[in-house]
């Protein structure tokens, strides 16, 4: 195994000690940005996704390219999500075919998506390279053109993340939204605990655990909006000795409010010397709340996706309005001010609201880049301000 760089080792050692925000680079890239641009706003950590990388280009390919850091050209910390969220967002919401069973989850890739990612896998499928990792023991490649089948199990998810050479790994979990029945919630908790145990055991026995690999392994706490289930899940997982504990599921209630009570319960039920990661959190105001509770690790698509959709964050906009500035609104056509008068990013130091407005109106790609750059800078400043050691 390739040894982590000194820089990465340091990032891993310090991970979660103070609040960090990790932009989502689900498929190995933060949309619209280069890594130079990402670094220019102070980002040192990103999140990638096991399922997406499994589908394309495949863990074997990443391994053969020297691991994910080498492959994508990023020497910062990479946290890889397990694909548990896709169990929820794609399977439970019925967007993709597939099923969840006690052994894991099976995904059938829709033709439209398969085509999009097929340019690499088409070649691979001829020699079955893509599934060699699993010894034919689970991962099946059906048709490379229309609906290949992938299976995620607690063990496979560890293997994939190890092959990718991830820094912080996440075990497979059965992710659900908050509004499910008690019965369902109990089942997902049971399954999540079982899967976590299998993942941890496998990581320790096959790879020698964190001590041997220098990587961190985190577990996911489920339990929907049932505080006692959350507590039970957190307690059980804590007994297994993970490096971090993640608040899983959907961390908003039906009204879109942060589930503060559940977050507190989980925080209290997990070891004080381990970090807590609020997966998918969140709006700036949500992050501030979660930091107050004690969470230190955050990721969400909001700053990057909203940037691409024309919603910019600005400290010039009051918190009551969620710091949101919709740059495509007609009122910014003649606005010569920067998006955020307190910001030091390229967008704010060089361009006006009027210019960005115009670039969005005509669909210039530069607009997406500038907006993404800025929103990530905003999130960096938000989180750094919370620790009191903001330094640009």
Partner RNA sequence: CCAGAGGUGGCGGAGUGGUCAAUCGCAGUGGACUGUAAAUCCACCGGGCUAUGCCCUACGUAGGUUCAAAUCCUACCCUCUGGA
Q: Which residues bind RNA (CB under 7 A)?
A: 23-24, 26, 30-31, 47, 49, 52, 81-82, 84-86, 88-90, 95-96, 110, 112-113, 170, 173, 175, 220, 222, 246, 248-252, 256, 258, 279-283, 286, 299-302, 304-306, 308-311, 324, 326, 328-331, 333, 361, 363, 365, 368
Q: For residues 9 and 77, what is the distance between their CA atoms, to the nearest angstrom?
A: 9
Of 7 and 116, nearer to RNA (C-beta) is: 116
The distance of closest approach from Cβ of residue 330 to RNA in the complex, given in angstroms and rounded to an integer, is: 3
The distance of closest approach from Cβ of residue 309 to RNA in the complex, given in angstroms and rounded to an integer, is: 4
Residues 6+ apart with CB under 8 A from 64: none
Do 213 and 256 meet the contact criterion of CB atoms below 8 Å apart?
A: no
Of 129 and 317, nearer to RNA (C-beta) is: 317
Tokens encoding 70: 């080498």
Q: Exposed/middle/buried for 319, CB within 10 Å: 0-12, 13-18, 19+?
A: exposed
The distance of closest approach from Cβ of residue 113 to RNA in the complex, given in angstroms and rounded to an integer, is: 3
Q: For residues 385 and 376, what is the distance between their CA atoms, to the nearest angstrom?
A: 14
The distance of closest approach from Cβ of residue 391 to RNA in the complex, given in angstroms and rounded to an integer, is: 26
Of 336 and 349, nearer to RNA (C-beta) is: 336
Residues designated catalytic: 81, 299
Q: Which of 259, 247, 287, 252 lies closest to 382, judged by CA?
A: 287
Of 61 and 357, nearer to RNA (C-beta) is: 357
The distance of closest approach from Cβ of residue 90 to RNA in the complex, given in angstroms and rounded to an integer, is: 6
Distances (CA, A) of 373 to 46, 170, 247, 339, 359: 14, 27, 27, 12, 15
Of 26 and 213, nearer to RNA (C-beta) is: 26
Angle between helices 227-240 and 182-202 (to 10 degrees): 10
């Amino acid at each position: 195994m390739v040894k982590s760089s000194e820089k990465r080792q340091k990032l891993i050692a310090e991970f979660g000690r103070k609040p960090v925000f990790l932009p989502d680079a689900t498929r190995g890239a933060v949309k619209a940005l280069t890594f130079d641009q990402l670094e220019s706003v102070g980002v040192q950590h990103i999140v990638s996704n096991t399922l997406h990388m499994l589908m394309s280009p495949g863990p074997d390919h990443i391994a053969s390219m020297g691991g994910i850091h080498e492959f994508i050209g990023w020497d910062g910390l990479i946290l890889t999500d397990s694909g548990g969220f896709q169990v929820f967002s794609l399977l439970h919401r019925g967007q993709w075919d597939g099923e969840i069973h006690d052994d894991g989850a099976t995904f059938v890739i829709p033709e439209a998506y398969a085509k999009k990612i097929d340019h690499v896998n088409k070649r691979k499928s001829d020699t079955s390279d893509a599934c060699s990792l699993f010894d034919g023991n689970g991962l099946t490649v059906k048709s490379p053109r229309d609906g290949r089948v992938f299976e995620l199990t607690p063990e496979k998810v560890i293997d994939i993340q190890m092959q990718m050479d991830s820094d912080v790994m996440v075990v497979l979990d059965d992710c659900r939204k908050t509004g499910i029945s008690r019965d369902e919630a109990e089942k997902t908790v049971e399954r999540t605990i079982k899967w976590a145990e299998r993942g941890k055991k496998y990581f320790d026995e096959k790879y020698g655990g964190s001590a041997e690999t220098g990587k961190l392994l985190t577990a996911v706490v489920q339990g929907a909006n049932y505080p006692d289930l959350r507590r039970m899940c957190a307690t059980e997982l804590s007994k297994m000795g993970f490096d971090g504990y993640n608040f899983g599921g959907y961390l908003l209630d039906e009204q879109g409010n942060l589930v503060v009570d559940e977050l507190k319960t989980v925080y209290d039920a997990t070891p004080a010397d381990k970090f807590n990661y609020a997966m998918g959190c969140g709006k700036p105001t949500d992050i501030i709340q979660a930091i107050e509770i004690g969470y230190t690790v955050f990721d969400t698509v909001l700053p990057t996706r909203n940037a691409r959709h024309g919603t910019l964050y600005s400290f010039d906009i009051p918190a009551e309005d969620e710091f949101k500035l919709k740059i495509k609104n007609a009122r910014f056509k003649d606005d010569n001010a920067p998006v955020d008068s307190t910001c030091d990013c390229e967008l704010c130091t060089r361009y006006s609201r009027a210019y960005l407005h115009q670039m969005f109106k005509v669909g210039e790609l530069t607009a997406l880049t500038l907006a993404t750059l800025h929103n990530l800078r905003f999130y960096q400043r938000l989180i750094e301000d919370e620790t009191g050691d903001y330094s640009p």
